[in-house]
Structure 1
């Protein structure tokens, strides 16, 4: 390998390592791993505690997901699965609330301060 190619390759690898340090790629990878595990935990929490509460309020969640209405116009018809949307919306709101509660109660929102201050 010519000397210029070796020096160029070392320059690129040093540039790559500098990029990783400056952009916080390692921190991003750690955050992604922790976020994935936290997502699984929140999903289990919602399934174990929030979904049963929803079932107490609205009845069977499977029944809610199956709720729909059909609209006929002439010889055409459209089936609107509104229950599946409402069920998904309830799950979204429950997950958002659980994530907010965990972040707020554990004061995790205080960990991420901007570097300018």
Structure 2
């Protein structure tokens, strides 16, 4: 079998296509979550805690002074941008929570659409029970 034929078989399998679609949808969903976090949630967090995490940094060079925006400070020299890290951690936590809620909702829908488990088999009828007792008595 040629290399290209093998590759074509691999690439056209359903699992590979499902994975590709999942990655593309995941990337688009990541952009939506970034927008929700940066444009909707972080401003509220900033108002509630009187903080704006995006411009918090520590200068690592004498050329950089405090009071500048992070972009301006990076142009002057190296900075320890811990505010960006805090924002990324908050983004991750929110994303993980949203994914948890989605998976929980999908599991709930899946449970509703699944057939109920079959009922346990009925016990022996009175006649069968009597026959089993007779059998056991004959064995003794």
TM-score range, shorter chain: 0.5 to 0.7
| 2:18 alignment partner in structure 1 | 27
Structure 2's unaligned 5+ residue stretches are 61-78, 111-140
Which segments of structure 1 move beyond 4 Å, counting only runs of 4 or more?
Answer: 67-70, 79-84, 108-111
Distance in 2 (CA, whole Å) between partners of 1:93 and 1:68 is: 24
What number of residue pairs does the alignment pair up? 92
Distance in 2 (alpha carbons) for counterparts of 1:109 and 1:31? 21
**Alignment partner of 1:60: what SS?**
coil
CA RMSD of aligned residues (A): 3.4
TM-score normalised by length of structure 2: 0.47
Give the number of the structure whose alpha-carbon radius of gyration is greater: 2
Give the C-alpha shift of residue 38 in structure 1. Answer: 0.9
- More strand as a share of residues: 1
Deviation at 1:49, TM superposition (A): 2.7
- More contact order relative to length (CA 8 Å, sep ≥ 6): 1
Indicate conservation of the 8 Å contact 1:66/1:83, yes or no: yes
